[in-house]
Amino acid sequence: MNKITFIGAGSTVFAKNVLGDCMLTPSLQEFELALFDIDEQRLKDSESMLNNLKLTTGSGCKIKAYSDRKEALRGAKYVVNAIQVGGYDPCTITDFEIPKKYGLRQTIADTLGIGGIFRNLRTIPVMLDFARDIQEVCPDAWFLNYTNPMAVLTNAMNTYGGVKTVGLCHSVQACLPHLFKDLGIDTTGVQTKIAGINHMAWLLECTRDGVDLYPEIKRLAAEKQKEKHRDMVRYELMLRFGYYVTESSEHNAEYHPYFIKKNYPELIEEFNIPLDEYPRRCVKQIERWKTMREELVHNKGLEHTRSHEYASYMLHAMETDEPFKIGGNVMNTGLITNLPKEAVVEVPCLVDRSGITPTYVGDLPPQLAALNRTNINTQLLTLEAAITGKKEHIYHAALLDPHTAAELSIDDIVRMCDDLIEAHGNWLPKYV
């Protein structure tokens, strides 16, 4: 049988979406769904959940859990990655609490910012271990990365892992439906063009029957800004810089130097910014799992409706040569001409039997490219730190992060990095 390997399969709900989708895809019925996770109990839970789905869907897919990662990967045609290194406790807590001691507040801290830097540093070595296994036992496999920080991890796998990797994120799919629902606009017949970097890609074009919808979008957004709502940061960025950004306001609040400022605490209320949002979500998810586990793992009548996740549609396109369009994270091989070639960009891509073919975008509007570059600087220096093992590049990455640099002195940023390195302990390799 052909094989789809899911690493991080203990993410049971996400495994249900991605692999449940595969089980409902006719062209994938002859595949083995190979599951691997370092948490044995969560791995068993996911195996049971998928076997429940196999019964209710009548899928021809074979479900098999592995205790050996290399064996799970052996012969795989596709690999889906959804790991989180260090989890909520201790690593996410550390990413939030130590910066807080320096007066640096965060919302999500999983992509950029000081939390994103350290999530990268503990995840990249693990990902490159995967790459070594893949090179040995399934060198032609496509690696579908769903793990954040998306841009840097996808870059590491392509540049240093030698693995065919595409990064997949929900934000491109959700961008237009979220915006139009919020503003009360019908999405029927709307054409869009989205490009940039992960979590900071831009709705560059939005038309219906050739008519530009942006004037109406901005008019409605300006009206909506007069009252408090959940997307105030993104609307403010659009009204100031001209374009709507793909990822949520809670994320973008910490990607820029304008919104979370200890000397202007009123901005938190003004822009309705949920500080410490990700830890709250983690606590709720941990609590929710206690009841959800019963619903998924022991439910013999479990059902599934195909989700909006890209993976199964991509695999179907590659198996059947029926083209499918995605927003993918890929190396910038001249795709966005005013962003660095070393960076990973998020652009429209065509998927078919030949693989994943990114599309040429050209220059972004100069103000958007400039905003992207502020984040790319930190991404590339974080990758440099991980590959060279030099502590100085961790400092460089943090010093160039827009939010961190706007809030703290050079000395405090360096001290904070040292505290984070010490607190993470064995979750990080040794830096010199």
Q: Which long-range contacts (CB under 8 A, 24 or more apart) does 390-398 make?
A: 390/431, 390/432, 391/417, 391/421, 391/431, 391/432, 394/117, 394/121, 394/421, 394/431, 397/117, 398/114, 398/117
Beta strands in 254-343 (DSSP E): 324-331
Query: Alpha-carbon distance 384 to 382, whole Å?
Result: 5
In a 3-state reduction of DSSP, which class is residue 117?
helix
Q: Look at residue 215 and give its three-state secondary structure.
A: helix
| Secondary structure letter of residue 28 according to DSSP | G
Q: Which of 170, 199, 304, 403 is the catalytic position?
A: 170
Of 181, 141, 169, 173, nearest to 157 by C-alpha is 141
Joined together, the tokens standing for residue 236 give 């403010």
Reduce the DSSP state of residue 394 to 3 states and report it.
Answer: helix
CA distance 228 to 221: 12
Q: Are 310 and 143 in contact (CB under 8 A)?
A: no
Cα 327 from Cα 380, distance rounded (Å)? 21
Residue 170 a catalytic site member: yes
Residues 6+ apart with CB under 8 A from 310: 144, 168, 173, 326
Positive or negative: CA dihedral 126, 128, 130, 136:
negative
Phi, psi of 82 (to 5 degrees): -145, 40
CA dihedral over 217, 220, 223, 228, signed as positive or negative:
negative
How many residues belong to the chain?
432
Backbone φ, ψ for residue 39 (5° rounding):
-95, 105
8 A C-beta contact, residue 168 and residue 144: yes
Catalytic residue IDs: 170
